[in-house]
Each structure stands twice: as structure tokens, then as C-alpha cells.
Amino acid sequence: MKDILSVGLIGAGSNAGGHARSIAANENIRLAAVMDIDRSRAEALADEHNARAYGVLDDLLNDPEVDAVHVCSIHKAHAEQVVAAARAGKHVLVEKPMALSVAECDRMIAACEDAGVVLMVGQVMRHFPVNLKVRALIREGAIGEVGHMIRRRYGNFDPPDRSWYLDLELGGVCVLYCFGPHEYDILPWYINSPVVKVYSQGSESAERYAGQKDTYSTIMNHKDGTVSVLTQTVVTHTGAHDTYIMGSEGSIWMTNQKLIVNGKEVPIDETSRVGMPSQIAEFVDCCLNGKVPDANGRSVRHTMAVIEAAKLSAECGEAVMINGEDK
């Protein structure tokens, strides 16, 4: 059995750069190739890491030294590239969002299961030390039975003119599909209970997001009875990113770096910077040792179903039901 995973990057943007740096820091994985439709970008990143550069996807997938791929391309391309990689026998780590529709997620899952390859989604916040601690505390009963969660993610994201982030076909609704995959994923993950009902409202606030909603508030009912509320915006200059969790015997407040349980701060030894290296280490372990990743295709399909339901609910003005058994 191999003890080093040889991988190729699909896409050579800033996200791929983060993957490449974490790959370089892990002795059980090496970067063999980089592909981008802009070959000059692929060459620049490949040269940094002594890898081969390709400008065509099939060329990378036909490279016999590539065991697995990291898909770091625009959102619209994820589904087709994952399916192609699976058919070529490559394990796959695909960046969030998994895809732009649940139907595409199903195609990706089927292709990877048929090929017997690993499918992992880049839900890197599952690897943040503070989030792992929160999940453990809830499982240990530190605040009793969770009844309500409130999460906020507020920021000011101003993509360049003509950016694909603003193209609904290429990127999806930006606040939902660029930032939402982390937020809609982490809440059911904390309590290990899927969402079964979604009611959402959205609004268009800033001119740069004309044609798509830039702010959403969503109420979710979980299978275990917990209610969670997620509010998101990409058009506020005063940011916030925190979570309140209320239980029958206490409460939690946290950010990505700070945790307060029942009014007392709980120290977190490591920062969120370990998230990406930890995620890649899990991917390597799964590929080399036949394990199933936590953020596997079927798990994250549920996340994308919740996002799709939030989008639909905001459009129709009614609550949308989800099959909670899918998670």
C-alpha cells in the first residue's frame, strides 16, 4: 500500500494556493500537477511547487502519477470535474460549495461510488479547533439538551466588476453559495441533527448585487426539535461572525477563535489556521487507508439541500420541507 498520495490541483486561483501550501507541509502527500484553463496560472503555481502544469483537464486526469485531485475551480465547474475525475479513477476533494444544485450533488455521489473513489468536500470549518470543542461539549452534555442556536455571518464582500461571483449561472447566489456552505453546514453538524424544515427571507440591498439577494435570514427546524437561526449578509461594513447556543442547562457563545461556556471562557489551544492542514490530512488518510471522510458527499448533500431550500423559500415566501434522513 502506498504511503504518499500524489495529487493534482484543478484550478490555480487563491483557493488552490492555500491547498498547495498545506500539501507542502504534509509528508504523506505531494503535489504532482496543476491544471487551469489559463495555463499561465497553472504554470506559475506548478513552478512554485515543482509540479507539472496542464491547460486541459483530460491531460491532468490521464497523468498516471496523479492518484487524487483537489477541485478548486469556479462553482459551476465542480460537478462536471468531479464526475470526470471519478471516471478516471481519481479520489476527489472538492472545494465548497459541493455543487450548485442537489441534482448535481447526486451525480457526483453516484459517480464516485460507482468508481469506488473517495469523495470529500472542503467543509474546512469542521476542522477548526473551536468548532470541534463546541461539538464535543454538546455531546458531553455541558449545556444539557440544545434547544436553540443563533448564528451570524456579516461582512462586506465586494467582488471585482464582471467577476464570476456575481454571475448566477457560474457562482450561484453569492451569499448562499460562496459563504453559506460553511454556515448552513456547521449548525446541524454541531448537534448531529439534520434540518427538516426551512423558512427563509432575503433582500437585495446593494447595487453591486442587483439581480440577486445579498442578505438572508433563515429559520431551520432540526429533526431532534432544535431550532436554529442563521443570518447572513455580504453588504455590511461592520462585521460579525459568531454563534449562540442555548441548552436546558447552560449556554455557549463562540467565534472562530473564542469560546465562552456558561459564562466562563474556555481556552482553545490552536487557531483556525490548522483547519486546512487538518482537512487535507484527513483526505490523505481516507484515500490511503480506505476510510470515509466526515464531510463526505452524502453528508454535505444535506447541506446543499438546506441551501437550496433556503433559496426556494425566499422566492416563494413559504416554508420548505427537507428529507432529514438524507444526512
Torsion 240-13-89-27 (CA) sign: negative
CA-to-CA distance for 147 and 246, rounded, in angstroms?
6
* Alpha helices (H) along the chain: 14-24, 39-48, 57-61, 78-87, 102-115, 129-140, 168-171, 174, 180-191, 275-289, 297-316
In this structure, the dihedral spanned by the alpha carbons of residues 154, 159, 164 and 167, taken in order and rounded to 10 degrees, is: 60
d(CA 179, CA 97): 9
Counting Cα atoms < 13 Å in the Cβ hemisphere of 166 gives 13
The residue written with cell numbers 432575503 in the block is 202
Report the pLDDT value the prediction gives residue 323, as an integer from 0 to 100.
83
Contact 4, 29 (CB under 8 A): yes
Q: What pTM value is reported for the model? A: 0.96
pLDDT value of position 326: 55
**Predicted pLDDT of residue 325:** 59
Q: Write down all domains in the chain, each with its CATH number in brackets.
A: 5-122+277-295 (3.40.50.720), 126-268+303-326 (3.30.360.10)
Residue 160's pLDDT is what? 81
Q: Render each residue's pLDDT in the chain as its tens digit; 327 residues.
A: 579 999 999 999 989 999 999 999 999 999 999 999 999 999 999 999 999 999 999 999 999 999 999 999 999 999 999 999 999 999 999 999 999 999 999 999 999 999 999 999 999 999 999 999 999 999 999 999 999 999 999 999 998 877 899 999 999 999 999 999 999 999 999 999 999 999 999 999 999 999 999 999 999 999 999 999 999 999 999 999 999 999 999 999 999 999 999 999 999 999 999 999 999 999 999 999 999 999 999 999 999 999 999 999 999 999 999 986 555
At residue 280, the pLDDT reads 97
